[in-house]
Structure 1
Amino acid sequence: MSGRGAGRVVAVTGASGGIGRAAARAFGERGDRVALLARGGKGLDAAAEDVESAGGKALPLTVDTADFRQVDEAADRIEKEFGPIDVWVNDAFTSAFAPFTEIAPDEFKRVTDVTYLGYVYGTKAALNRMLPRDRGSIVQVGSALAYRGIPLQSAYCGAKHAIQGFTESLRCELLHDKAGVHVTMVQMPAVNTPQFDWVLSRLPNKAQPVPPIYQPEVAADAIVYAADHPKRREYWVGGSTVGTMLGNKFTPGLLDRYLAKKGYAAQQTSERRSPDRPSNLWEPVDDEDGQDFGAHGRFDRRSRARDIQIWASRHHGLLAATSGALAFGVVRKAMRH
C-alpha cells in the first residue's frame, strides 16, 4: 500500500543516530518500508535492526548527503527495491562547536555542504520522482536555530537559516504549480542525541544542548505526524522553541546580549573535553571505533519524554478559535457594563 498511513515507502537521511534514528524506528512501528541513508556502517546496521524489530522493512544505504550523485543513486535504489517514495525526511547534518574565528574555511564549508546542501540534494532527488506522480511529502527537520543564531554554532545556525529560506521559496513554487507534493518543516528544540560527543568541538569542556532538553522520540513523533499532515507549513516542538522564536521576533537585540553573556556556559558541561575525542566532520565516528551510538545521547536523566507544545502545534486552529471565543466573550461582557 502506498500513500498516507502504514505501508508507505519512507527515506530518512541521517538515520544512523539521533533524531533520524528515532524517526526511522517510529516509521518502522507503523509497518513502513524505511530506507536509511547515512555514512556510518555500524549505526546503519543497528538502525536497520531497529526498524525490522519494530515491524517495518529496512533498506540501509551508505550515503554522504553532501554528494548529490550518491543521494540520487540511493533514491533510484529505493524505488527499485521498495517502490515509489511516499515520504522523504531530511535530517542528516554535522556541526562545529567553536567560535567562528576558530573554524577553518574547509570545515565551515563541510558543515554547510552536509547540513544545508544535503537537504537541497535530498529534496531535489525526492522531487524528481514525486512531481511526475503528483504526490509525496518532504519533511525538513529544522531547529529553533533556523530563526535564531547562537554563539559557538555559526556554521550550523547558518545552514539551518538557509534551509528555512530554501524551503519557503520551494513551498511557494509548489503552491504556484498546484502540485500534489508538499513540503513542511519541523522546528526542533534541544534534543538528547549523540551529536554532542561526535561533532567537531574546540570548546574547553564537553558540549551539551541548551536546556530544556527533549528525548529524540519526542522529535520523531512530530516528524511522523508532519509526514501525515504535510500541508501545514511548519510545526514547533518544545516550549523553548516557541519562546526562542517569539523572543527573537520581538526583542532580538536583548536576546543578542543575553546569549553573549550566557550562551557560552549554557552549551558546556563542567567536564573537560578530551583532546583525543573523535569527530564525524569528515568520517563517521562509528566506523572508526565500531560503536553504535544509537538515538540517545548522555543526557537521559535531564531530558523530557513529553511535550505539550506538539499538541498545541497540531491543534493551532482549535486554539485560535478558542482564544477568539474567549476574547469575544470578555469584550461582550465588558460592553454590557
Structure 2
Amino acid sequence: MNRNFKIVFMGTPAFAVPSLEMLIREGYNLAAVITQPDRKAGRGHKLTPPPVKAVAEGAGVPVYQFEKIRVPEGVALLKELAPDVMITAAFGHILTEEILEIPKYGCINVHASLLPKLRGAAPIQWAIINGEKETGITTMYTALALDAGDILEQESMGIPEDMTAGQLYDKLSVLGAEVLKRTLEKLADGTLERKPQNEADATYFPMFKRGFGEIDFTKTGEEIRNFVRGTNPAPEAYMMYHDEKIKVYRVEAHEYSGQEPCGTVLYADGKRGLGIRCADGLVSIEELKRCGARCMDARDCLCGRPLEAGYVFQKRENSII
C-alpha cells in the first residue's frame, strides 16, 4: 500500500483543523471532506461555516455537509467516493456498521485522551476537571461501541497545573495531527499494528448537559479549581448570586480553618477580592464576569459592584458539577 490511498476526512471544529492541514500539506489523496452544516454564531447570529470547511475549501478539496451522515444520501455519497480509508476527528456523528464497512482499510479516529481512559465526547475538559496529571492522543480503529476500537498509536503529554481546557484543546489538536501522520505512515508501509483496549481500565464521561457548570462549594478547593479550569472557556463555570449568574474563569485554593457553612462569602471588596468558604478551606475568585460586564479581575469588579459578605452560595439541585 502506498501514500496514494484515497481518504475521506470527517471533522467539524477547530480541533480537527491541524489534522486536515497535515493531510493537505503531506500531499495525501483527499477525495472529500465531510462536516456538519453551517451554524449561526456570534452576536449577529451570522451563518458561519465550520473551521474544517473553510480549510478544505481554501485547499480546493470537495466539501459535503450533513446533519447526520447516516442518512441514505450520506451513505450513498460515501459508497460513491469509495475511500480506502476514512479519518474522523471531532466529527460529532455516529457511524453505522454499513458506513464502517465502506473503506477498504477501515476508519481511523483521532481521540483526545489516552484510551481506554476518558472515553466520550468531552475528554479534554474532563481530564482537567478530574485532576489528571497527563493525557494525550490516541488513534484507533472506529468500532460500533463508543471509543472502544483497537488502539493504533498513542502519545502522552503532561497537564500543567494552571492549564485551562481551552489551552489543552489547542495543544492536543496539534499533537493529534502528529500522531495521525505517524499512523498513516505506518499504514502505508505495512507496519501499523492494532492493540485491543482493556475494558477493565475503561472510563467514560458524558457530554455536558444543560445547566452544567454551577460551582459546588462543598467540594475541596483543589476540586473547585480543577472544575473552573476544565470548564474554561466552555461551558463556563458559574455561581448564582441571588438571581444573577456570575461566570468564573480562575480561582485559587487557600487554607482556612473557620467554621462557616460551605459557600459563605468570607470577604468581598476591592482590596482583597472575593473569598468563599469551601470544604477544606477557602477559594479566592480571581477572574469573573458579571451580567453586562466583561471578564475582569475580581478586585476591580468589586470596587464598583460589591457582593454581600456572609451571603451563602448554594448549588441548586438541578445543576451538575
Q: Give yes or no for TM over 0.5.
A: no
Higher normalized helix content (fraction of residues): 1
Query: Which of these two proteins has the greater Rg computed from alpha carbons?
Result: 2
With normalisation by structure 2, the TM-score equals 0.43
With normalisation by structure 1, the TM-score equals 0.41
Higher relative contact order, structure no. (Cα contacts within 8 Å, ≥ 6 residues apart):
1
Higher normalized strand content (fraction of residues): 2
